[in-house]
Chains A and B, each alone.
Chain A
Amino acid sequence: MTRDEIANIVKTTIAEEFSYDKEKISEQTVAADVPGWDSFSHGVLIMQIESEVKVELPVDKIMEAANVGELIDLINTELK
């Protein structure tokens, strides 16, 4: 899976989970930018993304991801 494919999955899942306009999601987007993205929904979001990309991400590293771009990088690294 290429980084672009991962980025597409991440943005699509965020858009669906929070009923948010996908076009507004960039690599710099942070949780506070997206209405409804709280701690609980963040956990559920990660579970959704994991099932799409078929990899279990390390929890401590997920917490360190500061924005969408870093989350994409993390998945890209874990898939290698």
Chain B
Amino acid sequence: MSTIVEALAHHAENNPGKLFININKPQGSQCLNFGDFYSKSLKFAGFLKSKGVGRGDIVLIVHPMDTLLHIAFAGSMMIGAIPSLMPAENAKQDKQKFYDNHRALYSLIAPSMIVASAEIRDQYRENLPDYGDITHAVDPDDPALDGVALTEPEAVSGSDVAFIQHSSGTTANKKGVMLSHEKVLAQVAIYQDALDMDDNSVIATWLPLYHDMGLITNFMLPLIRGLTVHAMDNFEWVMRPVKLFDMIEREKANYCWLPNFAFSHLAQRARDWKHDLSSMKYWVNCSEVCRPETHAQFVKAFADNGVTEESLKVCYAMAETVFAVSQTPLKTAARSLDLDQEGLDRREVVPATPGKPTARVFSCGVPLSGYTVTIVDDRRENTLPEGRIGEIAIKGPSTFEGYYKRPELNENAIVDGVYFSRDMGFMKDGELYVLGRKDDMLILYGRNFFAQEIEVILNDTAGIKPGRCGAFGVYSERMGTNELYALAELTDDGDAETAERDARARISEQLGVGLRRLFVVEKGALHKSTSGKQNRHLNRLILDKFLQGENIA
């Protein structure tokens, strides 16, 4: 098997009645077995062809959670077109900004077709009129499609780009990660072994598919492996987290991927839930910084339901390698290390000593079979030994084909088949520890700090709104080094002067570095991406305005 489409054809032929996906919605459930998935995708492929879409053309899919997403995606691949999922307009976002950003991104991507729900099509026609003519709402059950259905998929090669996964980041700056069929197949073949999956494995999810964790673990993996997925809407999950457990118990699910905040949300909302979760083999924590205390909180909340420490895994993954690079070994709990903070600041891994500032870091497990993880120095010339901190470089069978129409980014990202992640970390006893983004590293007075570790302190400072702050290093000619600056939004009762004074004292006490200034910004002024990560580039521009003496608040 050399393509994703061939994998789907195989399951449709050999196990047509097997359930592929069951989407649980407030209005009722929506099911698709492998046979129907295949035949409906062929119809969709025919529809695309009838509209002039062909090999190499980009098909954007913007749709709420629905089997149409899966059908349109597979149908596009069946004719060698390149599908990519995009998030829909959200009532909680600034509408103008949303469409301005999409206009900029779409002018780069130049899609040949946009597949949408009727509601989204109308929104697009109103707000992105340049794309109105190519935006279509399609009902895969429309009898009119019978006449255009393909009888079989068109020939596609394993080295062809299967789809584009857009990375996190503000929409206009999203990077389109091109992934070929063979790379996706290679990842799934290895990752399923790392998870001890079998033909009867069942997945439970609420993740949207436009992020890589949802797309790969809850769509590509079960499609290629022939497994069943039970899904629910992400919005419903936030309000009714108990329903995820209802679904797991009812369907006897075995696997569930969640970002760290979701483990925390479930544990915090638990109200004497009686579910039997013993069917679950593994819960995988991925896609943001994973915290040992969150795992402990989750196990404590649900130990009586059958959740064990060993069933929780930490995974290091990214779209550029299709998905997983390393993961906690199967039969063990995720390790953590208590390290000397000052050692980390010097980029050294030194065990913590009592009475001195300590940083607890979580292991992301061992590299998957076939993947080599090395830690390299700043110039990417030398490999560093175990226990030394540097940039994480990855070589493996699923490294991406490059960023779509962004050649300037490819040059530094992949060199001789090695992907330089711009993540910083170290290896210890064969396991990978990820500390943060290279771009987020601040060098202050010759010491290295990750912006996140400073932001953790800011978050805990009275008067600062948790999650609404940023730390930056700014070069001072007077001092001949970078000095620490911060931006923060305040709580209602927060006072700028007090917050700055307290933050300065806490940072000095815990990290031994001085905070030069904390500037207070208006509520909502700091930029975050759709995945909730801070946009440091845009926030740095806000800081620059302060530094130039402009008051933007």
Query: Cβ of A35 and Cβ of B523 under 8 Å apart?
Result: yes
CB of B235 within 8 A of CB of A63, answer yes
* Interface presence of B549 (CB below 8 A): no
Tell me whether B95 is interfacial, beta carbon within 8 Å. yes
Cβ of A39 within 8 Å of any chain B Cβ, yes or no, is yes
Is A47 interfacial (CB-CB < 8 Å)? yes
| Complex Cα gap A31–B240 (Å) | 20
Q: How far is the CA of A20 from the CA of B465 in the complex (A)?
A: 12
With known contacts A19-B465, A19-B491, A59-B26, A32–B95 Cβ distance under 8 A:
yes
Proximity bits, A6-44, B CB within 8 Å = 1, else 0: 000000000100111100000000111011111110111
Q: Is the CB of B92 within 8 A of A38?
A: yes
A19 to chain B, nearest CB (A): 4
Cα distance A44–B26 when bound, in Å? 18
Which of A32, A42, A63 neighbours the largest number of chain B CB atoms within 10 Å of its CB? A32
Q: A62 at interface (Cβ–Cβ under 8 A)?
A: yes
Q: Which residue of B lies closest to A37 (CB)?
A: B92
B189 at the interface (CB under 8 A from A): no
Given the interface pairs A19-B491, A19-B492, the reply to whether A44 lies near B238 with Cβ below 8 Å is yes
CB contacts (< 8 Å) of B147 on chain A: these are: none
CB-contact partner of A46 in B239, B261, B491, under 8 A: B239
Whole-angstrom distance from the CB of A20 to the nearest CB of chain B?
7
Q: Is the CB of A36 within 8 A of B524?
A: yes
Check if B90 is an interface residue, CB within 8 A of chain A: yes
Q: How many angstroms from the CA of A70 to the CA of B95 in the assembled complex?
A: 19
- For the complex, give the distance between the alpha carbons of A46 and B92 in Å: 14
Answer whether residue B91 sits at the interface, using C-beta atoms and an 8 A cutoff. Answer: yes
Which one of A35, A43, A58 contacts B26 once the chains associate, using CB atoms below 8 Å?
A: A58
Q: How far is the CB of B487 from chain A (nearest CB, A)?
A: 14
B497 at the interface (CB under 8 A from A): no
Contact digits for B517-542, partner A, Cβ 8 Å, 1 yes 0 no: 00000111100000010000000000
Contacts of B237 in A (CB 8 A): 43
Q: Are A35 and B91 in contact (CB under 8 A)?
A: no
Task: Out of B235, B236, B523, name the residue touching A20 (CB < 8 Å).
Answer: B523
Q: Chain A: how many interface residues by the 8 Å CB criterion?
A: 26
Asked if A4 is at the interface of the complex by the 8 Å CB criterion, the answer is no
Q: How many A-B residue pairs have CB under 8 A?
A: 65
Residues of chain B contacted by A30 (CB below 8 angstroms): 91
With the chains together, A51 CA to B238 CA distance in Å?
15
Shortest Cβ gap from B499 to chain A (Å): 13
Interface residues of B in 3-27 (CB under 8 A from A): 25-27
Give min CB distance, B27 to chain A, whole Å. Answer: 6
Out of A35, A39, A44, A47, which one reaches B524, CB within 8 Å? A35
B548 within 8 Å of A (CB atoms): no
CA distance A51 to B251 in the complex (A): 29
CB pair A32–B91 under 8 Å, yes or no, is: yes
B281 contacts A by Cβ under 8 Å: no
Render B196-223 as a binary contact track against A, CB cut-off 8 A, 1 for contact. 0000000000000000000000000000
Set of chain A residues within 8 Å of B522, measured between Cβ atoms: 35
Q: Is the CB of A32 within 8 A of B523?
A: no
> Is the beta-carbon distance between B26 and A19 smaller than 8 angstroms?
no
B95 touches A60 (CB 8 A): no
Residue A66 interfacial (CB < 8 Å)? yes
Q: Are B27 and A60 in contact (CB under 8 A)?
A: yes
Let me know if B492 and A42 touch, CB within 8 A. no
Interface size class of B (residues with CB under 8 A): 20 to 34
Q: B94 on the interface (CB 8 Å rule)?
A: yes
Asked if A32 contacts B93 (CB within 8 A), the reply is: yes
When distances are taken between beta carbons in the complex, the residues of chain B under 8 Å from A44 are: 238
Chain A minimum-CB-distance residue to B234? A39
- Is there an interface contact between A31 and B236, defined as CB atoms closer than 8 Å? no
B261 proximity list for chain A (CB < 8 A): 40
Using a CB-CB cutoff of 8 Å, which residues 45-72 of chain A contact chain B?
46-47, 58-60, 62-63, 66
Q: With A32-B95, A40-B238 given, is the CB distance from A60 to B26 under 8 Å?
A: yes
| Complex alpha-carbon distance, A31 and B98, angstroms | 14
> A60 — which chain B residues lie within 8 A by C-beta?
25-27
Are A36 and B239 in touch, CB under 8 angstroms?
Answer: no
Across the interface, name the chain B residue whose C-beta is closest to A16. B492
Q: Known contacts A19-B465, A59-B239; decide if A42 and B27 are in contact (CB<8 Å).
A: no
B468, CB-defined interface residue at 8 Å: yes
Query: Distance in Å from the Cβ of A3 to the closest Cβ of chain B?
Result: 23
Tell me whether B269 is interfacial, beta carbon within 8 Å: yes
Binary A-proximity of B245-282 (CB < 8 A = 1, otherwise 0) = 00000000000000001000000010000000000000
Q: How far is the CA of A37 from the CA of B523 in the complex (A)?
A: 11
Nearest residue (CB) in A for B489 is A35
Chain A's nearest CB lies how many Å from the CB of B386? 38
Task: Tell me how far the C-beta of B332 lies from the nearest C-beta in chain A, rounded to whole angstroms.
Answer: 31
Contact A47 B94 (CB under 8 A): no
CA distance A47 to B235 in the complex (A): 12
- CB distance B91 to A43 under 8 Å? no
Give min CB distance, A78 to chain B, whole Å. Answer: 14
Q: Which residues of A contact B93 (CB under 8 A)?
A: 32, 38
- Please give me the residue from chain B that is nearest to A40 by CB atom: B238
CA distance A53 to B525 in the complex (A): 32
Most buried by A among B90, B91, B93, B522: B91
Pairs across A and B, CB under 8 Å, 18 listed: A15-B492, A18-B523, A19-B490, A19-B523, A20-B492, A20-B523, A21-B492, A32-B94, A36-B468, A36-B524, A37-B92, A38-B93, A38-B532, A40-B532, A42-B92, A42-B235, A43-B237, A60-B27
Nearest 9 A-B pairs (CB), nearest first?
A35-B524, A43-B238, A31-B92, A35-B523, A60-B26, A43-B239, A59-B26, A19-B492, A19-B491
**Which residues of chain A have a CB within 8 Å of any CB of chain B?**
15, 18-21, 30-32, 34-40, 42-44, 46-47, 58-60, 62-63, 66
